[in-house]
């Protein structure tokens, strides 16, 4: 569910006409719905109401300072994967005392930053990392709380580049060696064993892989809890969102049209399936969703530059490019593209939707059917709130897009479009080239 819909013929985010946003701030521009984010957080929390649950927003999905403040106000903490993300949370006026620090390549500087800011726990990916955390904690004269990431070797049946729970992925340690890894951790003088963690991948659209992984890991958790007095079990994130039919999925009637057994994954179904498996542990349960909380809460606005009609096919050339939204080029990902001004009297057209970058890979959709639109008209890429702006770049010397946050009938620019002067501010020409 989300808060993007047509009011008459004009596409709105909550009560704001998106064409008005584009006129004020230009394009490409990301627009986020604060109410959709709040609804997603609330639904997830309620779905696990029988357990002691802490939602840690996986901020790699979208790390805008305004959204981080919004999440903190909603009672979430954060799933952090870099020192920069720690600093972003602090810059947003929050803290990391209830947050977890994950990632396979933590540097000494990042570990020190996390310890000095009293991070709730480190999610440890390897035994060498455990030794490094112990060393840095010893240097600071503290004990570092840790949970070891267990790789349950479960196929999440998602895109190969975003699966993380199989034995040939770089993440975590095998389930079979969990006991020996925890024994080693317990003997390190500057380590405090606090929990256990798992995460099998991103954009999962069925419950099966989640339940399979939890069932495999729960007996190990129970034994480690008895041996070391664990405080929590993190089951990671990974709940998928709707990309196809994304606009229609904002309407309850769209969901009701599905037989219950065929309905796309929901937080309610997720909680109902996993609560019985976790309840008897008596542990705090950490959830680390990212895409689910922000993905359907954002769109990217773009303007049509040209409609290029060819002998074999049409090309709709827009002002957004693969540097603004990398997912289609990187993952062959689907994003629904809709006009900001709906006109049912117009015929549909079929076209490749492409950007202006000098690569054939700068293509958002091939042979996509869309309402006929022409030069100067506006379109929206749905479900673009996750891994849109955060994965953007300056390729072809294109500045990063603007970002806007909407709540009800109010909206505000939360990140101005990058200027050319800002792009080159840290560059210099060396004296020997003068």
* CA separation for the pair 143, 348 (Å, rounded): 63
Q: How many CB atoms lie within 10 A of CB 146?
A: 26
pTM reported for the whole predicted model: 0.94
Please report the pLDDT score of residue 164 as a whole number. Answer: 43
290 is in an annotated binding site: yes
Cis peptide before 276 (omega within 30 of 0): no
Alpha-carbon distance values, 91 to 102, 360, 392 (Å): 20, 39, 21
Give the strand pairing for 4-7 and 10-13.
antiparallel
Lowest mean pLDDT among 200-209, 346-355, 403-412: 200-209
Structural domains of the chain, with CATH: 34-289 (3.20.20.10), 296-423 (2.40.37.10)
> What six digits make up the tokens of 143?
């004990």
Residue burial 223-250, b: 16+ Cβ < 10 Å; e: rest: ebbeebebbbbbbbbbbbbbbeebbebb
Please answer whether residues 203 and 158 qualify as being in contact, where contact means their C-beta atoms are separated by less than 8 angstroms.
yes
Per residue in 309-327, pLDDT (tens digit) is 988 899 999 999 999 999 9
238 is in an annotated binding site: yes
Please report the pLDDT score of residue 263 as a whole number. Answer: 83
Per residue in 180-201, pLDDT (tens digit) is 999 999 999 999 999 999 998 8
Please report the pLDDT score of residue 158 as a whole number. Answer: 46
Q: What contacts 220, CB < 8 A, 6 or more positions away?
A: 150, 175, 178, 179, 196
Per residue in 266-286, pLDDT (tens digit) is 999 999 999 999 999 999 999
288 is in an annotated binding site: yes
pLDDT at residue 167 tops 70: no
* CA separation for the pair 394, 400 (Å, rounded): 6
Active site residues: 358
| Residue 380: HSE in the Cβ half-sphere, 13 Å Cα cutoff | 31
Q: How far is CA 373 from the centre of its chain?
A: 31
Q: Determine the average pLDDT of the residues in 196-222.
A: 92
Please report the pLDDT score of residue 186 as a whole number. Answer: 96
DSSP annotation of 389: G
Q: Determine the average pLDDT of the residues in 345-371.
A: 95
387 is in an annotated binding site: yes
DSSP annotation of 218: H
pLDDT at residue 308 tops 70: yes
For the chain, state the CA radius of gyration.
Answer: 23
Q: What contacts 383, CB < 8 A, 6 or more positions away?
A: 241, 242, 243, 246, 295, 296, 298, 299, 335, 336
Q: Determine the average pLDDT of the residues in 403-421.
A: 98
Please answer whether residues 95 and 117 qualify as being in contact, where contact means their C-beta atoms are separated by less than 8 angstroms.
yes
118 is in an annotated binding site: no
Q: Determine the average pLDDT of the residues in 392-419.
A: 97
Q: How many CB atoms lie within 10 A of CB 24?
A: 12
* For the chain, percent of residues with pLDDT exceeding 70: 96
Vertex 414 angle, CA 411 and 417, to 5°: 115
User: What's the mean pLDDT when you consider all of the chain?
Assistant: 93
Please report the pLDDT score of residue 77 as a whole number. Answer: 98
């Amino acid at each position: 569910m989300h808060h993007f819909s047509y009011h008459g013929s004009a596409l709105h985010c909550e009560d704001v006409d998106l064409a008005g946003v584009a006129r004020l701030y230009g394009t490409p521009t990301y627009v986020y719905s604060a109410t959709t984010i709040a609804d997603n957080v609330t639904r997830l929390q309620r779905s696990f109401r029988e357990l002691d649950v802490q939602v840690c927003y996986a901020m790699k999905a979208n790390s805008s300072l305004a959204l981080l403040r919004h999440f903190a106000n909603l009672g979430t903490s954060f799933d952090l994967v870099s020192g920069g993300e720690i600093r972003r949370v602090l810059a947003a006026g929050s803290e990391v005392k209830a947050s977890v620090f994950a990632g396979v390549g933590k540097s000494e500087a990042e570990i020190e930053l996390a310890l000095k800011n009293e991070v709730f726990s480190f999610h440890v990916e390897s035994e060498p990392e455990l030794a490094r955390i112990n060393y840095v904690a010893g240097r600071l004269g503290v004990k570092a709380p840790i949970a070891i990431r267990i790789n349950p070797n479960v196929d999440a049946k998602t895109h190969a580049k975003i699966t993380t729970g199989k034995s040939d992925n770089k993440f975590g340690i095998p389930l079979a060696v969990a006991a020996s890894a925890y024994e080693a951790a317990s003997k390190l003088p500057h380590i405090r064993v606090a929990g256990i963690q798992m995460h099998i991948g991103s954009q999962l659209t069925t419950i099966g892989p989640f339940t399979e992984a939890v069932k495999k890991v729960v007996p190990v958790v129970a034994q480690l809890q008895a041996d070391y007095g664990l405080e929590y079990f993190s089951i990671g994130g990974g709940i998928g969102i709707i990309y196809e039919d994304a606009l229609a999925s904002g309407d309850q009637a769209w969901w009701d049209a599905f037989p219950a057994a065929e309905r796309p994954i929901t937080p309610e179904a997720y909680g109902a399936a996993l609560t019985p498996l976790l309840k008897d542990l008596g542990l705090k349960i950490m959830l680390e969703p990212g895409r689910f909380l922000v993905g359907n809460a954002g769109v990217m606005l773009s303007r049509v530059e040209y409609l290029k009609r060819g002998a074999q096919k049409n090309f709709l050339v827009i002002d957004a490019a693969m540097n603004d939204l990398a997912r289609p080029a990187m993952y062959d990902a689907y994003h629904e593209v809709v006009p900001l001004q709906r006109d049912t009297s117009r015929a549909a057209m079929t076209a490749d939707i492409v950007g202006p970058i000098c690569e054939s890979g700068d293509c958002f959709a091939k042979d996509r059917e869309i309402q006929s639109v022409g030069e100067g008209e506006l379109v929206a890429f749905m479900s673009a709130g996750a891994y849109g702006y955060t994965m953007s770049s300056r390729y072809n010397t294109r500045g990063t897009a603007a970002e806007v946050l909407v709540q009800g009938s109010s909206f505000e620019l939360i990140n101005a479009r990058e200027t050319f002067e800002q792009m080159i501010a840290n560059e210099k020409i060396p004296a020997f080239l003068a």
